[in-house]
Structure 1
Amino acid sequence: MYPAKQVEEALEKMDIKYQIVHHPVAHTTEEADNFIEGIEGVRTKTMFLTNKKKTECYLLVMDDAKRLNFHQFEELTGAKRPKMGHDDLLFEKLGLEPGIVSIFGLLNNKDHDVKVYFDKAILSEKRMSFHPNINTRTIFVDSDDVLQFVKNLGYDYQILELEEDKEF
């Protein structure tokens, strides 16, 4: 099934409202911003992470303008030496390519083994934006509905209070 269609059908089945914007390929959030300027919704960064031994995978949703402090993530979650997940593992676990990682990749997690985290700061925003598993569209969903989507898929999630990484 076409990736964006899969996302739309899942949201409709869950009775979750969304707004979708079609646009040319956007490899970065900066590129996507050119096509969605003026539309309400925080721009998200969804990071696919693993522990050192690649025995656990994590999906972290945070504000795109924020940088992750990996040491703090480790302290808050107990993840052993977290790092960005490799492209092959990303595809294996979420069926996604680099540059289009989003919460909607959970639709493809057959083993249901990815741990989900949200930065607390992003949850105060009314709406969030993501790529719907393809980088020629941007989808906007109310923040409460994003959390409901995760629950509807049978995932638990944790909310982390992440501080800005000051090293950059």
Structure 2
Amino acid sequence: MSEGEQKVYDTLNEIGIEYEKYTHKPVYTVEDVNSLDIHIPGDHTKNLFLRNRKGNVHYLVVLEDSKQADLKKLSKQIGSTPLSFASEKRLGKYLGLKPGSVSPFGLINDDDKCVRAIIDNDIFKAERVGFHPNVNTATLVISTRDFQKFLKWTKNRISYMKI
């Protein structure tokens, strides 16, 4: 188990969040997850790491896996310059993650609270939601109430909106 993955379990245990762990082969896309031969309960998500035009503001966007994010519309919705996907280097620098393992749990590694999280309200229609524990070989399922508790714990700037 990687140090980054262990940090997720330690943090969740520390703040009293229960989780169910499902291990699986490495997955890199929503399609990969949907092709797994195991049933993972709860809503599945798509997690996008974005930056503004200057690259001085970074966003973690969390939405239902069935949705498409219109980056032009989203940039207007949040009052940003045009958005684009951040590089692998930035993903490592700000969230301590590699491509394929982007997750809200990466906020654990954002010591300077530089990343702004944008959470789609529709996620909270479900009772449970699943995220990678900062590696793409497992998925943790937690209650949506505990997801909100985790987001509050991070102390990052969090925006809830309809995407």
Q: Same fold (TM over 0.5)?
A: yes
- Summarize the Cα distance change of 1:50–1:154 in structure 2 as closer, same or farther, 3 Å threshold: same
TM-score normalized with structure 2 length = 0.93
> CA-to-partner distance for each residue in 1:86-117, whole Å, 9 max, x for gaps?
11111110011111100011011122111111
SS of the residue corresponding to residue 21 of structure 2 reads strand
Matched, 1:26 2:27: yes
Structure 1 residue runs of 5 or longer lacking an equivalent are: 163-168
Partner of 1:141: 142
Deviations 1:4-49 (A, max 9, x none): 2111110010000111111222222322334474332111011101
Structure 1-normalised TM-score? 0.90
Structure-2 separation of matches of 1:102 and 1:10 = 14
Secondary structure in 1 matching 2:39: coil
CA distance in structure 1 between the aligned counterparts of 2:118 and 2:138, rounded to whole angstroms: 23
* Structure 2 residue identity aligned to 1:135: N
Unaligned runs of 5+ in 2: none
Q: Deviations over 1:37-72 (max 9, x none)?
A: 433211101110100000100011001111001122
Range moving further from structure 2, 87-96 or 20-29: 20-29
Contact 1:32 1:138 in 2 (8 A): no
What count of residue pairs does the alignment treat as equivalent?
162
Report the RMSD for the aligned CA atoms in angstroms: 1.4
Distance 2:28 2:61 in 1: 19
In the alignment, is residue 56 of structure 1 matched against residue 57 of structure 2?
A: yes
Q: 1:125 to 1:55 in 2, by over 3 A?
A: same
Say if 2:115 and 2:157, in contact at 8 Å, map to a contact too.
no
Runs of at least 4 residues of structure 1 off by over 4 A?
A: none
